[in-house]
């Protein structure tokens, strides 16, 4: 599925972004009793047909930060002092 999506989006002139991540840790008690319990972390991948300065860079994030991180990488949000509302990007007061 990832290959099909990226093949379709790669030649497009308009910037396109995809984000993949695991949304849960599977329940496998027998495996955990042998290897130990997982830490709850999961990998994610951001992909763009325009390339990115962040390509190949690892950055640990909380799951609730991932959407905002994607919007910043796509330059929808200009920087860390901005938030996103239904009207668009805006700066947080006092910052």
Counting Cα atoms < 13 Å in the Cβ hemisphere of 32 gives 9
Q: What is the pTM of this model?
A: 0.62
Query: pLDDT of the chain along its 95 residues, tens only?
Result: 888 988 999 999 998 999 888 767 778 889 989 998 887 788 888 889 987 666 677 888 888 888 888 888 888 876 665 555 555 544 444 43
Closest CA to 25 of 16, 38, 12, 10: 38
20 within 8 A of 44, measured Cβ to Cβ = yes
CB burial readout 8-29, b (16+ within 10 A) else e: ebeeeeeebbeeeeeeeeeeee
């Amino acid at each position: 599925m990832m290959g099909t999506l990226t093949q379709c989006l790669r030649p497009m002139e308009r910037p396109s972004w995809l984000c993949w991540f695991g949304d849960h840790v599977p329940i496998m008690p027998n495996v955990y009793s042998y290897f130990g319990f997982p830490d709850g972390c999961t990998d994610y991948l951001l992909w763009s047909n325009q390339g990115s300065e962040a390509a190949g860079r690892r950055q640990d994030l909380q799951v609730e930060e991932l959407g905002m991180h994607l919007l910043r990488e796509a330059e929808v949000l200009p920087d860390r002092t901005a938030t996103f509302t239904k009207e668009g990007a805006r700066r947080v007061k006092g910052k």
